[in-house]
Structure 1
Amino acid sequence: MRFPWSILLLPLLLLLAACDKNSDTEQVSADASYRQQGAKKSAIEPPSGEQRTASAASSGTTAVDAGYVGAEQCGSCHQAEFDDWKKSHHDLAMKVPNETTVVGDFNNTSFKYYGTESRFYKKDGKYFVRTDGPDGELHDYPVAYTFGIHPLQQYLIALPGGRLQALSVSWDSRSKEEGGQRWFHLYPDEEIKPGDPLHWTGINQNWNFQCADCHSTNLHKNYNADTESFDTQWAEMNVGCEACHGPGEKHVQWAALPEVERSVLKHSGFEVSYRERLKAHWNMDPKSGIAHLKNVDINTQQEISTCAQCHSRRGTQFPGAKPHDKFLDFFHPALLDENLYHADGQIDDEVYVWGSFLQSKMHGAGVTCSNCHNPHSLKTRVEGNGLCAQCHMPTKFDTAEHHFHPQGSEGAQCVSCHMPTKTYMQVDARRDHSFRVPRPDLSDKIGSPNACIGCHVDESNQWAADILQEKFGAPDPHYGEAIHAGRTGAPDAEGRLLKLVMDDTQPEIVRATAVSLLPSYLSQTSAQVLQVIAQGDSELQHLGMARALDRVPQQVRPALAIPLLYEDERVTAALAGDALAGAPMGGYPEEVGKRFNAAISDYVAAAEFNSDRPESLANLAALRAREGNQASAEQLLSQAIELAPYYTPAVINLADLYRASGRESDSETLLREAMDHSYDKAPLQHTLGLSLVRQKKMPQALEMLRTSAHADSATPRYVYVYGIALNSQGKPQEAIRELEQGLERFPGDRQILSALVSIHHEQGNEEEARRYQQQLQ
């Protein structure tokens, strides 16, 4: 069912005409709701920007869950597939420690880390580590489970409350020749002390939330917020057959049926089938040297969607997902978000393949994961360039004329140029699955890396760009430039993003990312485009819009959010519901109200499901505050701070609630106390500066605003606010100097440029005002 969205169009245009999105000035003492929006992640929580590095597992037990039969049962009929799976990374994802599963050296070995010596030993056939616990003292801990196998193996330790924590000292399981066969620490360059969320006893090394979902089959987290404890269970400890195929009980029943009766059960008794991809036929085009899918009407998305449930940077929002379920009904994936991906879409942080693959021409052509990987052993189907030769004619591509490196050399390997690696967890080199053409011409423009300089480290980006242009001609335009403009607030960002959003030749995840950036530059034109997108069929573009609705003015929000309530994607609808909380909703059909209430119920359920995390508590608090329930919001934020004192967004939002209720001194006290726990003080300093402005403590306020604006983690907003504050105190020349220095750090930022135009105009510097005004055009 579609919402009759035309009734929203005229109000949308009128509201946008009344909104001045380019205001040149700001009252520093004005309402600080922008801080709450800036601090608030979408509260159907996307994958955190915090590291998902150390894997961990729970005090889990086998779940009594009807329908699961276990891998051994599957192997009784499917011996070849079972043999492929045994000893695969899926099989070894998590194991009980014994002589077969443990690869680390527990023969009374030790490892020193910033003065703490951890010792690994065996006793009575069990494996132990003596290391620093949550109190900073040395304790002896039995190893509960092994976690992973290669290129590193981690070890899980049971702590009270049903928690399993991943030890940060891990075993490098690579060969000695590769630098392995040693103990090492995941964070060698900084001392991680007890109390730090990255310490092995900390919240960010907790298996139950961070990693369990993808290392076991049919996992149930089972967090109890009242007791702050877990009762995590699974159907199978590792990643078994049914993690991908779904419960096998009906399949076993199907196999027992006489041949003539088997057609009664669809998909041989499973809820999902991957057999359709077996019908795929690829024809080689001798002119291009590339194979094309002949029967383009087959569905290649089910397999990718199943793999995406784990091989993506995503947050689990609702429990109980099975392989056949829609991805966006249970998971909130990252798009090409800053700090996760470079602007051109290359991997930056750990993003787990899916978001990269969706950018690729391979995905666009109908390639699936199993075209390259055996889905049971997980190994590539062919070694070396032969894998690519399945679809790319070797006589055209595996030649010196194409790669201009000596045949058989490292530079002649397809993956060296088209799948460069980045190393995570110190030893784990992972390949970028976007299969991109190297673009050194973009590196100097937008700061993205390129494969050429990754090897030729003594050369320049321009050197590589010149060679590629000489060989292949001028490079094509690239979406990375538009994404970069959107991230950096470039004056032409809206135009670039609009062009990208409307370009149906670009990958959907790229267009969805552009959609998510566009609301920061909302105009009548872009608002109309977004409303058309809300009525379209792209699930990812719907998600991109829903994630960005908190940057849309409240008066305009219903016009863009209400259509999303009518879509099928549960996560997207829940985000839209959250965005509408507190917005004017009168005058809409009764059905809108029903869908809004359902979306809010889902949003709350997702936040409560993840209430073991401060992000979810803070997000639920933000919803309650918009609903007018300040007491509940304060309680939730206090819970979040108690759970994770370092979590700055909860502190800032609670300080803002205190401000709104006239408790400015409580706000100041809270912010000052929080600085003792924060690992990035700049947001707190900025917020405290604004509090001090409101209290008319201007000398202290200016010092706090200055410190935040000069911090390494400063945002353009901090620079802008500090400049405005200086100008408001009769210090225009200092304001101009700070703003100009800020512009060097954040080229093209519209707020900083607008402030410079305004202050120069006030000072009668019309030539300078015009110069900055031109940069805004």
Structure 2
Amino acid sequence: MFFPMVGVIVLLYKNLPFHQIFHNPFDSPLLRRICLWLCRPVIVFIPLLMCIGCQKTQQNTHFQSAVSAHYVGRETCKPCHENIYAQYIGSDHDLAMDYATDATVLGDFNNTSFNHHDVTSRFYERDGKFFVFTEGFRGKFQEFAIKYTFGVRPLQQYLIEFSDGRVQTLPLCWDTRPKEQGGQRWFHIYGNERIPPDDILYWTRISQNWNYMCAECHSTNLKKNYDAAKDRYNTTWSEIDVSCEVCHGPGSLHVEWAEAEARGEDTQGYTDMGLSIRLKDDEDEEVTWLFDKSLATYKPSTSRRRQKEVEMCARCHSRRAIINENYVHGKPLLDTHYPQALEDNLYYPDGQIRDEVYEYGSFLQSRMYQAGIVCTDCHDPHSTRRRKEGNELCYSCHQSEKYGSREHHFHKMGLSGSQCVECHMPARTYMVVDIRRDHSFRVPRPDLSKKLGVPNTCNGCHSDRSTEWASEHFGKWYGTPKPEKHYGDIFWAASRCIPGTDVDLIRLAEGNQQSPIVRATAVFLLRNYPTELSLETLRKMLRDANPLIRSEAVTSLDILPPEGRVQYLLPMLQDPVRLVRTFVARSLAPVPINLLSESALKQRETVVREYEETQMLNADYPVAHINLGNLYLDRGEYDRAVASYKKAIEIEPAFIPGYINLADVYRAQNQDEKGRNVLEQALYLAPKSAPIHHAMGLLMIRTGEHKKALHHLHKAAILAPENTRYSYVYGIALDSQKMPEQAISVLKRTLSHNPYDPDLLVSLTMIYRDRGEFGQALKYAARLARNYPENQNYQQLEKHLIILADRQGEKPDRRD
């Protein structure tokens, strides 16, 4: 199916190291602790924000035979595949993009007006072309010509081309649904939200740029062709829409094979009929469908069927980033793309879809995927429609006598509750009208909703009822859920650093019961637990067969200092998958050259250049330059870091991380006045940005402007109360300025929302200790010792405070 992708961003290189630094409590006064924290690099490690369709792959000749295939177009395919061609015409893939004509434009351009937050736009035709008069650059109203249509169901977007080759996505969309369903109207893609011209999401800015954000997944053989020196695009394609060769690969060799067959010539020299990728079950692994009586369900005889097909679909039907444009059909997806794990900004803790993540990440969690079900078992790949409608599609494998009965679903027949998808594929609405279903095919778990804050399909329909009501009915109908922890429980606890969760993460990561994406997420979250047990598991995961798991293990090993990573990661520079080895190069980039042999140094530099190339693929987007700047800063190449951050700001002046990182380079060079100028400029652009206020507060601590520093640190804590670090630093700063009562109040309030945060517990312990309130200090030290039994410093701190409290005549009170 086609899904509009404009404005959707995903993470690329996750560069969020976890460093837990504990200073000896017996010789580290509080002021030293705040100074040590404030002198740490204030780098905002911004992951590269990428659209689902950031740019089109190119043909890779490295893996091809001496004679490479090239694109021939669907009209060449038609004579031999007329039935398939007929199914394809009018499909969502066929209509993914087109030129704006009377035949393709569905919106009302009959001199129609649309008002959104007092911005009135007008749509009209003139001389056979389509136009919109609306707010444009810097809020100035002007006329724009519609060049392309974008999508068709349930909405159609419109693209405007500028003289420098940029194609921008108009935020005003046409609802193509029938009028009785609320359609046949203009609407704004951000609903009731007003996006002003200085916002990074404004339609003329980079976040709404088609060339970067959307193009790869809407056309065939698309090449972005961005010229960084001239800041221009010359984007090209073989076919404007998603045609045959997007899935089947360049078809010239297959055409040659077919013509040779027709002439009766020998075709043994052609592998797989000259196809770039074979999307059927291999003949030597023929699949039969077996009936499982206990489940009353048919399953394929092998769970390893057509993995290439699933990964091929994932190129566009996933939340992923591109790391190399030389995609080769049939080669590992992670050699060119980076699909996201189940991160909490994208998915709910239990893996349900939250943000716009498309199907791949949720499908990988499903039992169906693990059993060997593939996309085309349910979806016709040519018409892009479901093979059957309603429950009949599910009954293709699941016996209707069992799963279609009221004894199974407990709802009246014919109502929504009797529909399989309503319980097992909950829906969320994106882009105002676009309903997407979760493809994890999960069993409803209302019992998880209260604890984890996740939705459940029972209360999705019965919104007037409580989760307890839903859990009670679910228990009566299906019994109590199995006692073992759901991975959602584990991920929820791990994201909050609850002690002891590392054991559960290790079990998930090392076991084979869960899908690779669940295991990869467990590996990702192990970074929150820098223990010997976690390190041992991460070392094991470096050898895992799945490259996504290996890549997450590489990044999680950032819990070690750079020199500590060498022995584990150096061999990984030779990993066959590009994603893994570029992660390794980035992790090893800060390692001093004296710790590497000549051959290791040469190998590292080779892959570092490969990492730089992955960033320069998207030199039109500011975060690529942020990532490069972070790389150069880690390597002490300050001039290059400054140039990279300045380039990020030049590309998108509203992109605040560029200013923060630029100021930090100046800090590293003892040029805080330059940094102050940069941050003041950023505050002018974004006066309510918590990261800027935090950075300015840190700068003023360094320059001795303590009163002003407290103002900015307080502002950051107020603007982003969910950010524990901001409140922690503000509390420490208060104490350093002889305001311990206020510091205690801030830290306690923050601790109430983050009860296991060791920095908060250490700080409260030390403040009370320095005030001579040893009994109070002991309460927090006891929590540290109990929560982190492996940390000998915490154990010693507790014992020391017991002695001090006893000397003072206080009865030790270690209760919370």
Give the TM-score normalised by the residue count of structure 2. 0.87
Deviation at 1:83, TM superposition (A): 1.0
Aligned match of 1:531: 539
Deviation at 1:747, TM superposition (A): 4.3
Higher mean alpha-carbon deviation, 499-508 vs 416-425, is at: 499-508
Structure 2 counterparts to residues 743-758 of structure 1, below 5 A: 743-758=751-766
Cα-to-partner distance string for 1:87-143 (whole Å, 9 max, x where unaligned): 111100000111221111111111011222111111111111111111322211111
2:399 maps to 1:396: no
Aligned match of 1:725: 733
Structure 2 counterparts to residues 639-658 of structure 1, below 5 A: 639-658=647-666
Deviation at 1:769, TM superposition (A): 2.4
2:583 maps to 1:575: yes
User: Could you tell me how far apart the structure 1 residues matched to 2:322 and 2:54 are?
Assistant: 16
Deviation at 1:315, TM superposition (A): 1.3
User: Could you tell me how far apart the structure 2 residues matched to 1:307 and 1:46 are?
Assistant: 21
Q: Is the 1:134–1:195 Cα contact (8 Å) retained in structure 2?
A: no
2:95 maps to 1:92: yes
Seen in structure 2, the aligned counterparts of structure 1 residues 688 and 187 have a Cα distance that, compared at 3 Å, is same
Aligned match of 2:317: 311
Q: Is the 2:542–2:554 Cα contact (8 Å) retained in structure 1?
A: no
Q: 1:446 aligns with which of 442, 449, 452?
A: 452
Cα-to-partner distance string for 1:243-276 (whole Å, 9 max, x where unaligned): 0000011111111013452232111111210121
Q: Which amino acid aligns with 2:102?
A: E
2:237 maps to 1:230: no
Q: 1:739 aligns with which of 747, 762, 766?
A: 747
User: Could you tell me how far apart the structure 1 residues matched to 2:465 and 2:20 are?
Assistant: 49
Deviation at 1:519, TM superposition (A): 1.8
Q: Which amino acid aligns with 2:372?
A: G
SS in 2 for 1:153: strand
Aligned match of 1:328: 334
2:286 maps to 1:271: no
2:419 maps to 1:413: yes
Deviation at 1:374, TM superposition (A): 0.3
Seen in structure 2, the aligned counterparts of structure 1 residues 156 and 19 have a Cα distance that, compared at 3 Å, is closer
Q: Is the 1:671–1:688 Cα contact (8 Å) retained in structure 2?
A: yes
Q: 2:570 aligns with which of 536, 555, 562?
A: 562
Seen in structure 2, the aligned counterparts of structure 1 residues 639 and 770 have a Cα distance that, compared at 3 Å, is closer
User: Could you tell me how far apart the structure 2 residues matched to 1:679 and 1:434 are?
Assistant: 41
Aligned match of 1:498: 506
Structure 2 counterparts to residues 115-154 of structure 1, below 5 A: 115-154=118-157
Q: Which amino acid aligns with 1:184?
A: F
Higher mean alpha-carbon deviation, 491-500 vs 411-420, is at: 491-500
Cα-to-partner distance string for 1:352-372 (whole Å, 9 max, x where unaligned): 111111111111000100010
SS in 2 for 1:170: strand
Structure 2 counterparts to residues 703-718 of structure 1, below 5 A: 703-712=711-720, 714-718=722-726
Higher mean alpha-carbon deviation, 154-163 vs 549-558, is at: 549-558
Q: 2:780 aligns with which of 754, 769, 773?
A: 769
Q: Is the 1:520–1:552 Cα contact (8 Å) retained in structure 2?
A: no
SS in 2 for 1:435: coil
Seen in structure 2, the aligned counterparts of structure 1 residues 398 and 585 have a Cα distance that, compared at 3 Å, is farther
Q: Which amino acid aligns with 2:78?
A: G
Q: 2:705 aligns with which of 692, 697, 702?
A: 697
Higher mean alpha-carbon deviation, 131-140 vs 727-736, is at: 727-736
Seen in structure 2, the aligned counterparts of structure 1 residues 23 and 370 have a Cα distance that, compared at 3 Å, is farther
Aligned match of 1:216: 219
SS in 1 for 2:147: strand
Cα-to-partner distance string for 1:153-185 (whole Å, 9 max, x where unaligned): 000001232100000000000111111100000
Aligned match of 1:283: 290
Q: Which amino acid aligns with 1:71?
A: R
Q: Is the 2:573–2:604 Cα contact (8 Å) retained in structure 1?
A: yes
Aligned match of 2:811: none
Seen in structure 2, the aligned counterparts of structure 1 residues 327 and 104 have a Cα distance that, compared at 3 Å, is same
SS in 1 for 2:202: coil
Seen in structure 2, the aligned counterparts of structure 1 residues 20 and 126 have a Cα distance that, compared at 3 Å, is closer
Higher mean alpha-carbon deviation, 483-492 vs 747-756, is at: 747-756
User: Could you tell me how far apart the structure 1 residues matched to 2:400 and 2:599 are?
Assistant: 58
Higher mean alpha-carbon deviation, 116-125 vs 728-737, is at: 728-737
Q: Which amino acid aligns with 1:519?
A: R
Q: Which amino acid aligns with 2:510?
A: M
Seen in structure 2, the aligned counterparts of structure 1 residues 507 and 140 have a Cα distance that, compared at 3 Å, is same
User: Could you tell me how far apart the structure 2 residues matched to 1:738 and 1:151 are?
Assistant: 48
User: Could you tell me how far apart the structure 1 residues matched to 2:343 and 2:751 are?
Assistant: 23
Cα-to-partner distance string for 1:258-303 (whole Å, 9 max, x where unaligned): 345223211111121012168422111122212222244x532100
Seen in structure 2, the aligned counterparts of structure 1 residues 731 and 19 have a Cα distance that, compared at 3 Å, is closer
Give the TM-score normalised by the residue count of structure 1. 0.92
Seen in structure 2, the aligned counterparts of structure 1 residues 528 and 519 have a Cα distance that, compared at 3 Å, is same
Cα-to-partner distance string for 1:437-487 (whole Å, 9 max, x where unaligned): 111111121211111111110111121112222222222321112211222
Q: 2:162 aligns with which of 159, 162, 172?
A: 159
User: Could you tell me how far apart the structure 1 residues matched to 2:135 and 2:412 are?
Assistant: 52
Q: 1:627 aligns with which of 628, 632, 635?
A: 635
Cα-to-partner distance string for 1:405-437 (whole Å, 9 max, x where unaligned): 111210111110110011000000100111111
Coordinate RMSD, CA, aligned: 2.4
Q: Which has the higher contact order (CA 8 A, sep 6+)?
A: 1
Higher mean alpha-carbon deviation, 420-429 vs 20-29, is at: 20-29
Aligned match of 1:479: 487
SS in 1 for 2:156: strand
SS in 1 for 2:674: helix
User: Could you tell me how far apart the structure 2 residues matched to 1:328 and 1:21 are?
Assistant: 37
Gaps of 5+ in 1: 1-17, 59-64
User: Could you tell me how far apart the structure 2 residues matched to 1:180 and 1:692 are?
Assistant: 54
Seen in structure 2, the aligned counterparts of structure 1 residues 639 and 229 have a Cα distance that, compared at 3 Å, is same
User: Could you tell me how far apart the structure 2 residues matched to 1:292 and 1:23 are?
Assistant: 59
SS in 2 for 1:262: coil
